[in-house]
Amino acid sequence: MKFDSKFWIIAKRDYLSVVKSKGFWIGTFLIPVIWLLVVTLPGFLMVYFWERTEMKVAVLDKTNSSIGKEIVKADSNVFYLDNSNERELNAKILNDELDAYLLIDSQSIKNNSVTVHTKGGGGIALIEKVENVVGKVFRKHLLAESGLDTSLIRQIETETKVNTKKVTREGIKTDYSSFYSFFSYFAGVALFMLIFIYGGLVMRGVVEEKANRIVEILLSSTKPFDIMLGKVIGLGSVGLTQIFAWIVLLLAISLISTQIISLLTQPEPIAQSFVNEFNINSQVPKQFEIPPIPAEFVLMFIIYFLLGYFLVASIYAGLGSTVDHEQDAQIIITPINIIFILPVFLINIISANPNSLLSTLLSLFPPFTPVLMIARLGSSTIPLWQPLLSILLMLLFIFIILKFSAKIYRVAILIYGKKPSFKEIYHWLRKA
Amino acid sequence: METVKLSNVTKSFKDVVAVDNVSFSMQSGKIFGILGPNGAGKTTTIRMIAGVFLPDSGEIRVFGEPDIEKVQSKIGYLPEERGLYKRMKVIDQLIFFAELKGLPNTTARANALKWLSLLDAKDWENKKVHELSKGMQQKIQFISVLLHDPDLLILDEPFSGFDPINVEVFKNVLLDLKSAGKTILLSTHIMEQAEQLCDDVCLINKGKVVLYGSLSDIKASREKDTVICEYNSDGANSIELRNVKILNQTQNRIEFRFDRNNFNLKEFIKEIADKVEIKKIEISTPGLREIFIDEVTKVKL
């Protein structure tokens, strides 16, 4: 491949047309911020608002024990003792004077159940609240009745902490399993999005050149295959540029992050209430630390981006050439997208059990490979032959797809005015 | 020397035969016109010569080379439907097209600047294409064809979309290129343009060649059956004609064709001289448009 061959010229134009634009650089810096918000905000809001109810719940205790009082003590913002009878409480609810009441009788503890009366639809938060508070009180009560020591009870109440260590040739090391499984999910989804953003650019470019008739001038200067490959390589390089920009950004941030992280780990109201509510004090590490992301992982991320992108982009370029409007293109690629989006839904299953046979097989299926392999690599240590085999399989698959796409592209790029059927595309494949 | 030679070229799309067994050749250093109504197969023929796609059967040689891809850098092609990258700067766009034709970047830039200033478009250098008017875009497109100094220019409807002033500008550019020894292939459905520019023509209708040869030969082979008469008239003595085909009639000018079997030219001149003051009378062969219509209707019969 000479550097002055035609497809380099096309690749260069496509590369510069994106990289020179302000939008690209604004996007490069904004995407991580937006991405971080999208990933963390729902979880954060969930934690904050979960179990938070503004309702007032009356506790009607018919047991003559301290259970009612203990419930109120556990959360006096929500619960209060009420000694009226059920009829009066029902009336209060109907008159909107009361949101809900809780009925505890002699059977409640025995059956470990409790009834909440509302006007209907108290919301999940209320039920969660009641379940959590009442459950805790009941358990404590039962344990106390059995005559156990209070310190023992407290110990039972706390959750078991699992420390993970990994055995390496260099010795026993801390294994950040839970961090890495979250990280692998993050990386898999990010990879999927990158592949589709850049694959989409290729398709838009092909359709634009066709709709603007520029392709005719290109065809009078070079081969259809060069035009297609030039576009795929040019826009893929844009993707690489963006990934490198993010790596530089990440390194810069991690250099100045030590101070920021120490600030973040100071007790602050939200974090504190998070800790209180879940009683998970023991689980929050004293020193917050980001485990290292190995360089090999970054390298594999880039390799799988390139492979996945090449695969998607060659399919998109071929199919894009068959339509003259972007809207039509969206319709024709939908079946393809469904196949490629599947692995995103499989990430959770895979990273829960990264080394199972099913995980291995699924991650070796070329359309699934980039997302699933990166998820497995992120969450576990997998034998080297598997990524190597997956790369080989993908290269083979890309080669076949590229050949098909080039055939379709060559015929379809100059046909205007009608949407082709899949039958026609098949016919072109046979004919070419 | 033959710059382009088509032998029995056929191309079909689905069940429509767009180009049907077409053969012709183009002499170097001449302007060759492919003429015909819309949908005749002009664009398909041209695209095959430009190497945009291949014929189903038959052979096309350009500069004696059957593999057009090898000579694409010597061809400048202006497609009928013009296309430029909307968000790209004029100068970058011109350089890109020239580089695709094998020009090094610096030469491409120099040539682009030369042609931009030559055609009064220097100010557009750094504008983006979507900021230009349609006519300006046409001009840029035309320049993009010339940058690599091609020996063969293939121009599909080159003047469509230009105002009359720019049509003249580019006609002169073409004539200059011809005197510099370049071969030019152009297609048009406006016969008057072809008559002014072309040395040789090929008339195509429904994918088939109906007439082909040098323009002067074609005209010489026709009967002198066309009369153009200019005169002074006050309008009262209007001329009435029977048994002729009137092509064009205004108050002071008439153009018609006659059939020698039932029309007496001498009588007509005598008659008309009595009525009006004749300024000019010309008896000639019919124009290309008339010839073309003759040929097409003959095929129909």
pLDDT tens-digit map of B130-173: 999 888 888 999 999 999 999 999 999 998 888 888 899 999 99
Are the beta carbons of B50 and A220 separated by less than 8 Å?
A: yes
- A104 lies in some domain: yes
Indicate if the pLDDT at residue A189 is higher than 70: yes
Radius of gyration of chain B (CA): 23
Taking the CA of residue A10 and the nearest CA in chain B, the distance in Å comes to 8
Residue A121 amino acid letter: G
Q: Is the domain of A109 the same as that of A181?
A: no
Q: Is the domain of A26 the same as that of A112?
A: no
* A272 — pLDDT class (breaks 50, 70, 90): very low
Indicate if the pLDDT at residue A260 is higher than 80: no
Indicate if the pLDDT at residue B200 is higher than 80: yes
Taking the CA of residue B70 and the nearest CA in chain A, the distance in Å comes to 9
* A50 — pLDDT class (breaks 50, 70, 90): low
Indicate if the pLDDT at residue B255 is higher than 80: yes
Interatomic CA distance for residues A222 and B101, integer angstroms = 8
Radius of gyration of chain A (CA): 30
A183, A378 in Cβ contact below 8 A?
yes
**Of the listed ranges A245-254, A421-430, B159-168, B281-290, the one predicted with least confidence:** A421-430
Closest CB to B100: pick one of A17, A216, A218: A218
Closest CA to A318 of A432, A194, A238: A432
Indicate if the pLDDT at residue A353 is higher than 60: yes
SS3 A115: strand
Chain A contact residues (CB < 8 Å to B): 6, 9-10, 13, 17, 208-209, 212-223, 414-415
Of A157, A184, A214, at which residue does a domain stop? A157
Average pLDDT of span A32-54: 70
Q: What separation in angstroms does the CA of A333 have from each of A112, A204, A322?
A: 54, 12, 11
Helices (H) and strands (E) in chain A, counts: 17, 6
Q: Is the domain of A219 the same as that of A82?
A: no
Break chain A down into helix, strand, coil percent, rounded to 5.
70, 5, 25
- A95 lies in some domain: yes
What per-residue confidence (pLDDT) applies to A379? 80
> Cα A46–A48–A49 angle (5° rounding)?
70
Q: Over the stretch A109-137, which tens digit does the pLDDT of each residue have?
A: 778 888 888 877 767 777 878 888 888 88
Q: What separation in angstroms does the CA of B242 have from each of B80, B209, B249?
A: 42, 34, 14
State the DSSP H helix or E strand holding residue B282, giving kind and residue range, or none if neither.
Answer: strand B277-284
**Of the listed ranges A233-242, A413-422, B13-22, the one predicted with least confidence:** A413-422
Closest CB to B72: pick one of A17, A221, A414: A221
Partners of residue A424 in chain B, C-beta under 8 Å = none
Residues of chain A with pLDDT > 90, as a percent, come to 25
Of A126, A157, A188, at which residue does a domain stop? A157
Q: Is the domain of A238 the same as that of A124?
A: no
Taking the CA of residue B52 and the nearest CA in chain A, the distance in Å comes to 5
Interatomic CA distance for residues A253 and A389, integer angstroms = 35
Q: How many domains does chain A have?
A: 2
Interatomic CA distance for residues A42 and A323, integer angstroms = 39
- A165 lies in some domain: no
Q: Is the domain of A121 the same as that of A197?
A: no
Of A100, A129, A157, at which residue does a domain stop? A157
**Of the listed ranges A164-173, A376-385, B158-167, B277-286, the one predicted with least confidence:** A164-173
Structure tokens at A81: 């003792």
Q: What separation in angstroms does the CA of B19 have from each of A275, B6, B25, B67, B238?
A: 80, 11, 15, 19, 47
What per-residue confidence (pLDDT) applies to B58? 92
Partners of residue B69 in chain A, C-beta under 8 Å = 222-223
Taking CA–CA distances from A7, the nearest residue in chain B reads: B100
Q: What separation in angstroms does the CA of A235 have from each of A321, A407, B243?
A: 17, 21, 69
Interatomic CA distance for residues B257 and B245, integer angstroms = 5
Closest CB to B77: pick one of A9, A220, A223: A220
A323, A337 in Cβ contact below 8 A?
no
Residue with the larger pLDDT of the pair B278 and A12: A12
Indicate if the pLDDT at residue A395 is higher than 90: yes
What per-residue confidence (pLDDT) applies to A51? 57
Interatomic CA distance for residues A244 and B271, integer angstroms = 90
Residue with the larger pLDDT of the pair B61 and B283: B61
> Cα B211–B214–B217 angle (5° rounding)?
90
- A254 lies in some domain: yes
SS3 A405: helix
Interatomic CA distance for residues B192 and B2, integer angstroms = 26
Taking CA–CA distances from B78, the nearest residue in chain A reads: A217
Average pLDDT of span A103-112: 80
Q: Is the domain of A127 the same as that of A216?
A: no
Q: Is the domain of A303 the same as that of A400?
A: yes
Partners of residue B88 in chain A, C-beta under 8 Å = 17
Beta-bridge partners for A80: A58
Closest CA to B26 of B67, B60, B74: B60
* Residue A203: alpha-carbon gap to chain centroid: 25
Structure tokens at A376: 């497995």
Partners of residue A223 in chain B, C-beta under 8 Å = 69
A172, A166 in Cβ contact below 8 A?
yes
Q: What is the mean pLDDT of chain A?
A: 80
Question: Residue A199 sits in which domain range?
Answer: 6-36+176-431
Indicate if the pLDDT at residue A270 is higher than 70: no
What per-residue confidence (pLDDT) applies to A205? 92
Residue B60 amino acid letter: I
Provide DSSP, A278-310: HT-GGGS-SS--PPP--HHHHHHHHHHHHHHHH
Burial class (CB in 10 A: 0-12, 13-18, 19+), A147: exposed
- A171 lies in some domain: no
Structure tokens at B179: 């005197």
B145, B78 in Cβ contact below 8 A?
yes
Q: Is the domain of A240 the same as that of A383?
A: yes
Q: Which domains does chain B have, with CATH numbers?
A: 2-214 (3.40.50.300), 226-284 (no CATH)
Q: Is the domain of A90 the same as that of A11?
A: no
Taking CA–CA distances from B148, the nearest residue in chain A reads: A221
Which range among A14-23, A117-126, A133-142, A261-270 has the greatest average pLDDT?
A: A14-23
**Of the listed ranges A174-183, A199-208, A367-376, B23-32, the one predicted with least confidence:** A174-183
Provide DSSP, A228-269: HHHHHHHHHHHHHHHHHHHHHHHHHHHHHHHHHHHHHTS--H
Structure tokens at A182: 């979250």
Interatomic CA distance for residues A220 and B186, integer angstroms = 16
Taking the CA of residue A317 and the nearest CA in chain B, the distance in Å comes to 18
- A20 lies in some domain: yes
Closest CA to B62 of B75, B53, B52: B75
**End-to-end CA separation in angstroms for chain B:** 37
Q: Is the domain of A332 the same as that of A261?
A: yes
Are the beta carbons of A215 and B84 separated by less than 8 Å?
A: no
Closest CB to A9: pick one of B52, B82, B99: B99
Closest CA to B178 of B166, B186, B190: B186
* B295 — pLDDT class (breaks 50, 70, 90): confident
- A170 lies in some domain: no
SS3 A331: helix
Residue with the larger pLDDT of the pair A245 and A62: A245
Partners of residue A222 in chain B, C-beta under 8 Å = 69, 72, 100
What per-residue confidence (pLDDT) applies to A419? 63
**End-to-end CA separation in angstroms for chain A:** 25
Q: Is the domain of A284 the same as that of A205?
A: yes
Kindly report the CATH number assigned to the domain that includes residue A133: 3.40.190.10
Residue with the larger pLDDT of the pair A424 and B171: B171
Taking the CA of residue B159 and the nearest CA in chain A, the distance in Å comes to 18
Residue with tokens 């485990």: A291
Closest CB to A213: pick one of B13, B69, B82: B82
Closest CB to B97: pick one of A217, A223, A414: A217
* B111 — pLDDT class (breaks 50, 70, 90): very high
Closest CB to A220: pick one of B75, B81, B86: B75
Indicate if the pLDDT at residue B195 is higher than 80: yes
B2, B150 in Cβ contact below 8 A?
no
Q: In what order do the strands lie in the sheet with B2-13?
A: B16-27, B2-13, B57-62
Average pLDDT of span B69-96: 90
Q: Is the domain of A224 the same as that of A303?
A: yes
Sign, CA dihedral B276-B280-B286-B289, equals negative
Closest CA to B30 of B213, B257, B163, B168: B213
What is the reported pTM?
0.75
Are the beta carbons of B51 and A220 separated by less than 8 Å?
A: yes
Residue with the larger pLDDT of the pair A275 and A368: A368
Partners of residue B156 in chain A, C-beta under 8 Å = none
Are the beta carbons of A216 and B77 separated by less than 8 Å?
A: yes
